[in-house]
Chain A
């Protein structure tokens, strides 16, 4: 897989288009550019030429996620100074792609222009692009009509098709369409191009038609985005950078909302562009946890869809078990033919406890007891999964070992690349493995589950049982994961119980979950904020000095904004306000180098050395939990927490911000404001 710098994205949930800055798409089998829907590439080529020349962008406006406007001129960058011809491409993504093309003649002569659009569709599954698999099993077809170009792909009963048409007369061919345009001086010409994407059943009906009928008309998109932004609290701050990050994050969260097939039209956050434009259990749950103070409406549909797809039976291919919350859901060809196990895949060990954590946290904010009652059965099943199915060797921990050895994930924690869990000397532990942060989530889930059982489910006996299990887990974990001579928690336990002794960001999540005894917290914090882990921008996933450390290692040394936001939350929980503020300052400052859009991850290089954050080559952007990181960092700086029926505020601002106010924070209290101001003696 390859990542292309300088690309422009136009997004509407899991439908999106990635092009170059002129609006063109020229993809290869392994580049994630083109028009995508439901994990399938519907356009792999979309290239505009005028009199045989490609276009060059003068400017691009992508401030609205669902619409991008490209101002372009023909020719390479050096030629356009004298250009008489210029064009505007206004692209919009909804269920279909529409693109309004307007060409201007600002010269003094009449012009005859040969305007061409090259079109191709490879119908690649996103996994074929990721793993660079060029061969397709089915057959492509092309139908050229007088008014349309129809490109399709068929494999048995699986059929996908894209239909390209234009509002002005055009000559259609198998490789695209052409317009003969005559323009007098000062004249302009326009056409509206359309690419309709179809996921066809054998009876010719689009299998998403019921869902699409529920979708509001495209013309409501601008107002829908305005309403989304207006519903969120207003941020008032002296920091222009923070204001920009906040606004961008809100818009990106709106962009990533999508309506899964099985949810009756409600939307949930897709995980990230371009690789993860679908439902992930872990990503969506953590994004909801991050965004409760600003966008609580994301949470109920997320919990509901994860509940409706909760595992019911053991399955070694999907790695399903009763009560297990899913990892990943896909609609592409590889999922359809079960070549990939994503229909849905359950290979995660943290989504199940996090499901319970979110349900409880949501109730604390919203007071929505109805949802807690509605999802009682599923929350109990998720809690039962922890003890009945995740404790693979009866030692009282959540372990993982993949059962799908062909296409399952080696590591089923958030650091899910194959080499992310290693000893300090680089050795990889055996299986099963138990990572530390997952035990923290389990502890937190039991504590929170006990509150739900006692307060809402009328089951104090179950609450007592959960609390005693949590206490036993706390004691056991602190005995077996703690490395007394090093002063931190092991990253994981090896299959034989040997602590995996590397220093990692995972220990920060333990503070968030509350499984660290207060007297140990200062030593953990010292490591988190020490030079081996803290880069100046944030806490690295993996500490310098570990054998596999690499500042550009996906999970072995990069800095992940989402990871840092939970660490900051944990620091606040244990009273380390200044340290949480340092992390908030670092991550939010880094965001300003990415035009306010925090990527999935960036390089772990030292801030003093590089002065600016180093882009990670294949980082997803926008990424839901990176957009969410901004929201959670604002929460930690303000120190806002639901406390019975009111909102408690306890600010700890970094020195760079003089003033932060979040106005109209929604919750069980109605709407409340939170203010934070730097004390003069701290500036």
Chain B
């Protein structure tokens, strides 16, 4: 099973997320791998979540490539940056998409090497 599928399976089991107690809506993930299209529908009703493999209409559709979906499931993707550079395409309610993005794990960003310059302003 792919990391993506495992991620959505976990959501199916979880069923409820208190962080979304004020959220209602549906989000469909359209994951494209060459010619194949894998679709997951996430329906949220005041924190109750239902996950199905479905191509039914949704208020928000998130279109990504299969490799990017895998990277998201591994927690390697900054959603906002990926939207800005066109790797994640959102149709519909972007605010809802960003909220949903919080369901994905996120590897802590790695500490970087010390910059030789003294410092910088904002």
Contact = CB atoms under 8 A, between A and B. Distances in A.
B122 A409 contact: yes
B120 A406 contact: no
A40 to B, nearest CB: 10
Given A403-B111, A405-B112, A405-B115, A335 B86 contact: no
Chain A CB within 10 Å — which of B78, B93, B121 has the most? B121
Contacts of B108: 313-316
Nearest to A554: B121
Given A308-B98, A318-B109, A201 B81 contact: no
A108 interface: no
Nearest to B120: A418
A138 to B, nearest CB: 11
Interface stretch (A337-345, A441-449, A660-668): A337-345
Given A205-B89, A335-B81, A317 B119 contact: no
Interface string B69-86: 000000000101101111
Given A336-B81, A337-B81, A343-B81, A418 B86 contact: no
| Majority SS at the chain B contact face | loop
A343 B78 contact: yes
A70 B120 CA distance: 37
Nearest to B79: A343
Chain A CB within 10 Å — which of B78, B89, B111 has the most? B78
A316 B113 contact: no
A141 to B, nearest CB: 16
Given A157-B87, A308-B95, A338-B78, A418 B118 contact: yes
Chain A CB within 10 Å — which of B81, B115, B120, B122 has the most? B122
Given A318-B109, A406-B115, A263 B95 contact: yes
B68 to A, nearest CB: 10
Interface of A: 155-159, 200-203, 205, 207, 210-211, 261-264, 276, 308-309, 312-318, 320, 327-329, 331-333, 335-338, 341, 343-344, 374, 403-407, 409-410, 416-419, 554
Contacts of B87: 157
Contacts of A327: 122
Given A317-B110, A335-B81, A210 B86 contact: no
B93 A207 contact: no
A223 B90 CA distance: 32
B89 A262 contact: no
Contacts of A336: 81, 84-85
B7 to A, nearest CB: 16
A622 B20 CA distance: 38
B84 A207 contact: yes
B84 A308 contact: no
B85 A157 contact: yes
B33 interface: no
Given A202-B86, A314-B108, 14 more contacts: A201-B86, A203-B63, A207-B83, A210-B90, A210-B91, A263-B95, A276-B122, A315-B106, A317-B109, A317-B110, A404-B109, A405-B112, A405-B113, A405-B115
Which 7 pairs between the two chains have the least Cβ-Cβ distance?
A: A418-B119, A317-B109, A336-B85, A157-B86, A336-B84, A343-B81, A406-B112
A137 B88 CA distance: 21
A333 B81 CA distance: 9
A316 B92 CA distance: 31
Contacts of B95: 262-264, 308
A410 B81 contact: no
Contacts of A312: 19, 102
29 contacts: A156-B86, A157-B86, A157-B87, A158-B84, A207-B89, A210-B92, A261-B83, A262-B80, A262-B94, A262-B95, A264-B93, A264-B95, A308-B95, A308-B99, A317-B109, A317-B112, A320-B109, A328-B122, A332-B84, A335-B80, A336-B84, A336-B85, A343-B81, A404-B109, A405-B111, A405-B113, A406-B112, A407-B120, A416-B122
B119 A156 contact: no
Contacts of B34: none
Contacts of B93: 210, 264
B109 A261 contact: no
B22 A158 contact: no
A404 B113 CA distance: 9
Given A262-B94, A313-B106, A337 B119 contact: no
B112 A404 contact: yes
Contacts of B113: 405-406
Nearest to A310: B102
A202 B87 CA distance: 8
Contacts of A554: 121
Contacts of B22: 374
Nearest to A305: B95
B120 A409 contact: yes
B94 A261 contact: yes
Contacts of B78: 318, 338, 343
A419 B99 CA distance: 37
Contacts of B111: 316, 403-405
B115 A158 contact: no
A158 B113 CA distance: 27
B85 A158 contact: yes
A315 B109 contact: yes
Contacts of A403: 111
B109 A416 contact: no
B121 A418 contact: yes
Contacts of A331: 84
Interface in B34-67: 63
Contacts of A314: 108
Contacts of B19: 312
A433 B114 CA distance: 18
Contacts of B89: 201-203, 205, 207
A404 B110 CA distance: 9
Given A316-B109, A343-B78, A407 B115 contact: yes
Chain A CB within 10 Å — which of B84, B90, B94 has the most? B84
Chain A CB within 10 Å — which of B99, B106, B108, B109 has the most? B109
A264 B97 CA distance: 12
Nearest to B111: A316
A410 B119 contact: yes
Nearest to B82: A336
Contacts of B63: 203
